[in-house]
Amino acid sequence: MRKIKFEYKLAFSYLLLGGIWIIFSDKLLSSIIYDIRVLTEIQIFKGWFYVIVTAILFFLFIKNHLTKLRDTEIELEHHKNHLEKMIQEKTNDLESKNEELFRKNEIINQKNTELKNTLVCLQDTQSHLFQAEKMASLGILTAGVAHELNNPLNYIMGAYVGLFRHYENKTFSENDEQVGILIDSLKVGVERSVSIVEGLNQFTRNSQSYHEECNLHEIINNSLNILQNQLSNNISIHKQYANSEIIIKGNVGNLHQVFVNILNNSIQAILNEGSITISTKLDDDYVHIEIKDTGEGISAENIEKVADPFFTTKEPGKGTGLGLAITYNIIKKHNGILEFQSDLGKGTMVKIKFPK
């Protein structure tokens, strides 16, 4: 319900009282006083009486209303002061909290900067470890590669000596068949040397790109060429490649390191006679590579730790414990999956999956 305003109440009360007073007082006086002169004088006094009474009533009414207003104003002022005090307290509290948050934010920023610097250092260290492991592997393989190069160099040298003798004696035309054999030997020696050097070049590539065309069969074959001297006569290699070439996007040098590390572990796991089977296949989503050896195998307690940094079961001086850790990280960077299955005394299977 709409509330009537104070001024309307006041005007209405004045009109109501005045009207009632005039009507009833005039009728009352007319009924008891018949003298017009006396009635006129009484009417004058009646008017003053009405003015005085209404003035007193309005004074009391307005005073009561104004008292309430003043009390309300005082109460509002009190609430205002209380609110100002509360706002000031909250403002001070917020400023204190803001200062604390600012300090904490500075600490967080400082820690973030330290973490970023640490991450950069770790990435640099990881890069150096990758390269150090690669160089360590290369150092181990250097003697074998040098020995492996002797065979094609012997072909080349033998062919050179035979051809030089024919040249000195001018007997090329009389010995066509022998000269042909010597030239073929020269070609075989050169091709074999080129193959070994190409494998080493691929292994030592230091590109940072992961968008290179990587021919997996070629990379595996290059890795076998690098390890050729490690393969004794009692270890046979069986290749069960997919019918078509398998090419993925990745880093050629790093993938060489992956397969050199895995194949080298397989070779070292075979103490006597054994075999290594390498198979590749494709499905709708993945490229699958499996490398299975008939070596000593890995115990159940160690199978989960083989890719941990610095974990090795080899004798001191024969392994850094970084090979498979780096291999795992390289495969992960190619969005691939590395898995191990092994039975102690029966051999190990390494499974690698790369997205197509």
- Domain positions in the chain: 207-356
- Which CA distances in Å does 264 have to 51, 134, 169, 272? 123, 13, 48, 15
Q: Give me the sign of the Cα torsion angle 338, 344, 348, 351.
A: negative
234's CB contacts (< 8 A; 6+ apart) are 270, 272, 273, 274
Region 207-356: CATH code: 3.30.565.10
DSSP 213-248: EEEHHHHHHHHHHHTGGG--TTEEEEEE--SS--EE
Separation of alpha carbons 129 and 103, rounded Å: 38
DSSP three-state, residue 261: helix
Pairing of strands 286-293, 274-282: antiparallel
**Quick one: pLDDT at residue 58?**
75
One digit per residue, pLDDT tens: the chain, 356 residues? 556 666 677 677 767 776 776 667 666 766 776 666 766 776 677 777 777 777 787 788 778 878 888 888 899 999 999 999 999 999 999 999 999 999 999 999 999 988 988 888 877 776 666 666 665 565 555 655 666 666 677 778 877 777 777 777 777 667 777 778 778 877 877 877 776 777 666 666 666 788 889 999 999 988 888 787 777 778 999 999 999 999 999 988 889 889 988 998 899 889 888 999 999 999 888 999 999 999 988 888 887 877 766 666 665 555 555 678 888 888 998 999 999 999 888 899 999 999 98
Separation of CA 63 from chain center: 76
Q: Is the distance from CB of 294 to CB of 234 less than 8 angstroms?
A: no
Separation of alpha carbons 29 and 47, rounded Å: 13
**Quick one: pLDDT at residue 234?**
85
**Quick one: pLDDT at residue 152?**
74
Extract long-range pairs of 180-186: CB within 8 Å, 24+ residues apart: 182/158, 183/159, 185/155, 185/156, 185/158, 185/159, 186/155, 186/156, 186/159, 186/160
Q: Is the distance from CB of 343 to CB of 300 less than 8 angstroms?
A: no
Instruction: Output the six-digit token pair for 350.
Output: 């390494």
**Quick one: pLDDT at residue 226?**
77
Q: What's the longest Cα–Cα distance across the chain?
A: 184
**Quick one: pLDDT at residue 9?**
72
**Quick one: pLDDT at residue 204?**
61
